[in-house]
Structures are given as structure tokens and as C-alpha cells.
Amino acid sequence: MTTLTLSRALNEGLRKALEDNPKALIMGEDVGKLGGVFRVTDGLQKDFGEARVIDTPLAESGIIGTAIGLALRGYRPICEIQFDGFVFPAFDQIVSQLAKMRYRSLGKLSLPVVVRIPFGGGIGAVEHHSESPEALFAHTPGLRVIACGGPADAYAMIQQAAAGDDPVIFFEPKRRYWDKEDVDTAGGLASALPLDRARVLVPGTDVTLLCYGPMVRTCAEAAVAASADGRSLEIIDLRSLAPLDSGTIFESVRRTGRCVVVHEAVVTGGFGAEIAAQVTQECFYSLEAPVLRVGAYTTPYPPSRLEEYYLPDLDRILDAVDRTFAY
């Protein structure tokens, strides 16, 4: 086991993906000589060359459009969108082409493209650098949408994404890039959880807390705080939003009878609404309270000095847990 930050775990996972497949390549703004703004690709261009770790122009639509062409010619591009809010110039390429090519060609063509997107807030950044657009992509059939929550998952999931034949939108919680965890870099992926499976991070009996990405650590902290009040929270890291591991969710909710969904994205139209609808439909007779959602307020992302009031925190999560016992 090696102790790695999340950013370093992604770096090691990308290195392994490049080593395992000569058709894999990395492309994006400043991913080469600079090593990415978060240093996720640090050192990879030096070791693999400019033909496999490519500094692109500042044109997200061009990055994804080029990646689609490369994938059609047998390559496996791994694209970096520098910040979440910068993905929108490439949105048309992603939802109109990348997501639909296999279906449109009756399975004859596949586009094994990974689109890495640092997402979420918590770093005091300026406008368009702290978005949470995951629901837009999860709403689009044809895309895998996944979010790593810690270094061990990041290391395995980026390799699994790069090795698959599906287009993958890979969300990375930027506020967690410097979190550390023990990572098994020697054992390979044989024991890794499948890419589309949720993980029961903390077993519990009283309330199911569903989360992903940057909120995984916050929810784990909520479980510790709630235990001091005698409440047992089961924390489930969803990991995959599309497809969603509904079976793991339903099994937990049927045991606990209560469910709270937590994400950084705004509550209105957020992915938590889809989960709440599914849980209500499938677990109705097991629920002791309505499914509650905790997320950001329905406003544009505020100036950085206000983001601590805007984003979900420990108190708002625990308040939702308390409210599930008030019904």
C-alpha cells in the first residue's frame, strides 16, 4: 500500500493506462509541460512524449471533437476539461456526438473517450471554476457518468474508464485533490469494485446517506458526529451516476427506513431528485419519512467569500438527518 493524494492517485492511474495501451493518449489545456493546473498529469509528457500527452489550444469543443475523430480511428483519448464551468463549449460535441454514436451506428462504432472534469467548489475560485454539472450528463443516455470520492477509488476508476469501450464523463472532486489515503498500486484491478457499483462506506442502521464526489468525506464526518447522539448512519458512495446502482441503494433504504441524498449541485433539478423519485417508488412501504435532499441553494455560484454558506456542510446534513425523525 502506498499513501497518495487523490491527484497523485489519478496521476499513477493515468500512467498505468498509458503503459497498458499504446493507443491511449491524454489531451487538454496545459496537461503537458505544466502537468495540469492541479498537477494531475505532472511528468507524463516527459515520460511518454508529446505525441501521447498533448497540449491543446484553449478550445474545449475542439478537444472533444478531435477526441471523437481519434476514437473512430482506434485511439483511446483521455481528455481533460480544465475546470467544470469550461465544459459547456464542448457540451454539444458530448451530448450530440459522443453519447449517441454507438446507438446511431447500431453498435458498429464505439467511442472510448474519457472526459475528465474537476468539479465542485471549496477552493475559493472565481466564476465558472466551481460548477457541479453532473445532472446534465447523467440525463443524457449513452454516457457513463462517474465520480471518484477518494484516492483509492480514483486510482482504480480512471484505469477502468480508460480501458472500457464506453464514453465516460469522469468527475473529480477538486477540493479533495490533496486528501490522502492508502492505495494498492501493486495489486492490479482484479479486486477493484466494478465501475458501475456503489460502495457502502460506513455501515449503519438508522438512516441511509447517499453521496458522491466531494461530499463523501463530509458525509463520513457526519456519521461520526451522529454516532455521538446515538444515531447510526449508513454512508453509501454512489461512485456511478449513470448507470446508477439502484440495487445497493434500495437494499439499504429498506433496512434503515430513512434516506437523505447529499450533493454539491443545486437541489432544484439536481441528480438527488432522480434518486429520491426512484427510492420513493421502489421503497415506499419501507420509508418512515420522505426522502430528503441536501444541496446548494438555487442561485448561480456565489463569490468565493460566500461559498461556505452556499455549499452543504456538516450542520446542514445533520439537520436533514434530524428532520427525518420528525415525521
Alpha-carbon torsion (320, 322, 324, 327), positive or negative:
negative
Angle at 212 between CA 81 and CA 126, to 5 degrees: 45
Which residue shows C-alpha cell 458501475?
196
Residue 33, judged by CB atoms within 10 A of its CB (0-12, 13-18, 19+), counts as exposed
* SS3 assignment, position 143: coil
Residue 40 phi/psi, 5° resolution?
-70, -30
Does the active-site annotation cover 129? yes
The Cα 270–Cα 299 span in angstroms is: 13
Angle at 249 between CA 205 and CA 152, to 5 degrees: 90
Strands of 233-237's sheet in order across: 199-202, 233-237, 207-211, 259-266, 292-296
Angle at 197 between CA 243 and CA 271, to 5 degrees: 45
User: Do the Cβ atoms of 228 and 259 come closer than 8 Å?
Assistant: no
Residue 32 phi/psi, 5° resolution?
-90, -90
Q: What is the DSSP letter of 86?
A: G
One-letter amino acid for residue 307 of the chain: E
DSSP bridge pairs for 235: 202, 209
CA atoms within 13 A on the CB side of 7: 16
Query: Catalytic positions, please?
Result: 129
